[in-house]
Structure 1
């Protein structure tokens, strides 16, 4: 009988999208293989529920609560005052 799962967690992996375009192919391959090995280890342990790629950051919308109101902004970063 399998143990009851009391909690589930979501892991978000953030990367520098621009770095992939300048990364040498051998380093890109090594990074991808390490990521795939991590996923395989989670799957073997029976704890991987799902894995999906998100949209690029340029497609992001940031949702925040400010002074009791919901604000949405295009992009992943809050605007800053100069």
Structure 2
């Protein structure tokens, strides 16, 4: 089963500068383990939420808003897709993500849509 890991945190607590060597090593070790196990399908970081453009269509009109979809302290900063046997395995992977030390990781099953 595939799971989406939504990585989020309070952006005001995140330094826009370069991460420390130790932070890079912790993250690299986490990713290398998942790659070695063959469960990581994708992992991407996002630019800060202030760079987002939100698109809505209302009554046939396309409406654009600068910034994130919701006004909230915590914003999504990245995502990963893993393929594992069950939710418990996905939770264990999420708990090992370095971002859990200052933010959180939401684990969501990916909906399987039948193709015709």
Could you state the TM-score of these two structures normalised by the residue count of structure 2? Answer: 0.40
Superposition misfits of 4+ residues, deviation over 6 angstroms: none
**Alignment root-mean-square deviation, CA:** 3.4
Could you state the TM-score of these two structures normalised by the residue count of structure 1? Answer: 0.52
Greater relative contact order (CA < 8 Å, ≥ 6 in sequence) = 2
Corresponding residue for 1:9? 3
Deviations 1:26-80 (Å, cap 9, x if unpaired)? Answer: xx2111111111101111111010122222211124579xxxxxx9743236459
Aligned residues: 65
Corresponding residue for 1:50? 42
Return the structure number with greater strand share. 2
| Structure possessing the higher radius of gyration over alpha carbons | 1
